[in-house]
A and B are shown apart, each in its own frame.
Chain A
């Protein structure tokens, strides 16, 4: 049964290789990609019920014992995130064929798409630091190809910057692993955690922790390191933007969550206070960016940054309520960012522009799309019946109980401004007089709306059914705050 842990990586990987052979036969490729995504979703669903009932699944690849071979660990946290990834993948694969041009689809879109899913799932599941680097590169390589797919002027320009910043941070990641290897002599996360615990995280280890934070912060777009994110995220096709916005930064946040609860959790007075400062600045700067522009895609791209700030705030506060809030918010934000990117992609396509000043009265032509945008805007801001509320409530509860009042107030104010920034799209774009000069594509609109509605259902379910999901969030937090469980499961002592 331990082979279960590798399935979410292997299924998309193998099917992406097979699809590369038939890239010109579009109907075949499309249906295979859809089928594989749905099968993968069910497989992951099965694995998560198995993990829920029997505890973490640890796969020692090649039969080598834990610290010597590469291990894959499917625990509740990683499987929850893999499940969310696959839900988004299903919606994206159904959206893709209506938003991509035929030429883009023919040039290996589905291959790179499945490779991206494989890389993200691998990064969530792996239990080895260098292997995490390799999976980062797998997902980044796929993202490089996806961001430049189409080869427009602006895409070429922005992807160059995206690749350069990621190449630099990858090299820094390798250097940090070298540092860590020379200090603790291993690259297995559980064994690193054990050894760091033995020496009580002395000076040099905290330095290495901060270096790792710098690397993951670049991937996750935290305050001083977010400058690369907004523009490259709006140049590719909307479905690619949605995948990036939902998955890539969240891999960085997951890595911070994992590394700083498992390995570097022994000097919280320094590291975690530092996180709270960074989180506050990330929130403020992201919100300022979201309010500063009239480009609807750029508004959503800037909205990624405060969401990452919220999650980092949860990690910084570091008690049970705030960690479970972080996990809840992570899942919620992955789904809602995918929804918002897909919606603004559809709006930009249907209105023929992404400039807010040039559109008006879209609600007369596309009422369903408008109300979907409205609902996802209030889900994002955290209005009570929806999922953003519960995550933020837990985060604020954690912050107040630790006496971090200022960050809690900053968080609340930023939520208000996030709501403003998204509602501006709704008010300026959808309200107003009917625009009769617009050519209306009712049929395409319907096809684009179905995957969005599908994803938004999950988001609403996550909020309305909070009683169902809250206990597992709390148990994940409990698991993360007691790293001994992870170490014992891996090293079997």
Chain B
């Protein structure tokens, strides 16, 4: 199971990086979202996908899944939500002020 999940998160990273290298601003943001999905899936995988009950204390359960990676993922998800929403608003403003969403044209020149 871990192997399939690793391949999946690898695919997410690949598509994310491919999108990051595009010219259109919105595609780049989609790329960052895909990369963060890949990273979060990877944390879950690396915490070992052993079978067990959800990490809530109950009677008659002797095996739980590892709670730590889940807490780490939750933290990381919230952080990347925050950054992504900031990035979306910023991209909106930047595209509007500079009148382009093409990264090649957002380069600027020396003498400004």
Name A residues whose Cβ lies closer than 8 Å to a Cβ of B: 130, 133-134, 137, 141, 144, 148, 151, 153-154, 156-160, 163-164, 167-168, 170-172, 174-175, 177-179, 181-182, 187, 231, 295, 355
Beta-carbon contact of B69 and A167 below 8 Å: no
* A residues in contact with B28, CB < 8 Å: 164
Indicate whether A141 sits within 8 Å of B82 (C-beta atoms), given known contacts A134-B75, A171-B39. Answer: yes
Q: Out of B32, B42, B43, B68, name the residue touching A168 (CB < 8 Å).
A: B32
B46 touches A181 (CB 8 A): yes
* A133 partner residues in chain B, CB cutoff 8 A: 76
* Cβ contacts under 8 Å, B20 to chain A: 164, 168
The binding surface of chain A is classed by DSSP as helix
Q: A153 touches which one: B38, B72, B97, B110 (CB < 8 A)?
A: B97
> Nearest chain A CB to B64's CB is how many angstroms away?
15
Q: Quick one: given A148-B90, A163-B83, are A177 and B106 in contact (CB under 8 Å)?
A: no
Q: Which residues of B are in contact with A by a Cβ distance under 8 Å?
A: 20, 25, 28, 32, 35-36, 38-40, 42-43, 45-48, 68-69, 72, 75-76, 79-80, 82-83, 86-87, 90-91, 93-94, 97-98, 106, 108, 110-112
Given contacts A164-B20, A167-B32, A171-B35, contact A182 B94 (CB under 8 A): no
Q: Which of B35, B38, B90 makes the CB contact (< 8 A) with A159?
A: B90
Smallest CB-CB A-B distances: 5 pairs: A182-B46, A156-B94, A178-B46, A178-B43, A171-B39
Which chain A residues border B47 with CB–CB below 8 Å?
178, 181-182
Enumerate 27 A-B pairs (CB-CB under 8 Å) in ascending A order: A130-B75, A144-B83, A148-B90, A151-B93, A153-B98, A156-B94, A156-B98, A160-B106, A163-B90, A164-B32, A167-B36, A167-B87, A171-B32, A171-B35, A171-B36, A171-B38, A171-B80, A174-B72, A174-B76, A175-B39, A178-B39, A178-B42, A178-B43, A178-B46, A178-B47, A187-B68, A355-B111
Q: Which B residues are in CB contact (< 8 Å) with A170?
A: 79-80, 83
- Chain A residues lying within 8 Å of B46, measured Cβ to Cβ, are 178-179, 181-182
A141-B82, A159-B90, A168-B20 given as contacts; is B32 within 8 A of A177 (CB)? no
- Point out the residues of chain A lying under 8 angstroms from B45, CB to CB: 178
B72 and A130 contacting across the interface, CB-CB below 8 Å = yes
Cα A177 to Cα B47 in complex, Å, equals 11
Please, how many angstroms separate the alpha-carbon atoms of A156 and B87 in the complex?
11
Is there an interface contact between B83 and A141, defined as CB atoms closer than 8 Å? Answer: yes
The distance in angstroms between the C-alpha atoms of A160 and B93, with both chains bound, is 10
Residues from chain B with Cβ under 8 Å of A163 in the complex = 83, 86-87, 90
Cβ of B97: which chain A residues have Cβ within 8 Å of it? 151, 153, 156
How far apart are the CA atoms of A163 and B83 in the complex, in Å?
A: 8
- Given A151-B93, A164-B28, are A174 and B39 also a contact pair (CB < 8 Å)? yes
Q: Which residue of B lies closest to A133 (CB)?
A: B76
A164 / chain B contacts, CB cutoff of 8 Å: 20, 28, 32, 87
User: Among A137, A154, A156, A175, which residue has its beta carbon within 8 angstroms of that of B90?
Assistant: A156
Contacts of A179 in B (CB 8 A): 46
How far apart are the CA atoms of A187 and B43 in the complex, in Å? 12
Contacts of A148 in B (CB 8 A): 90
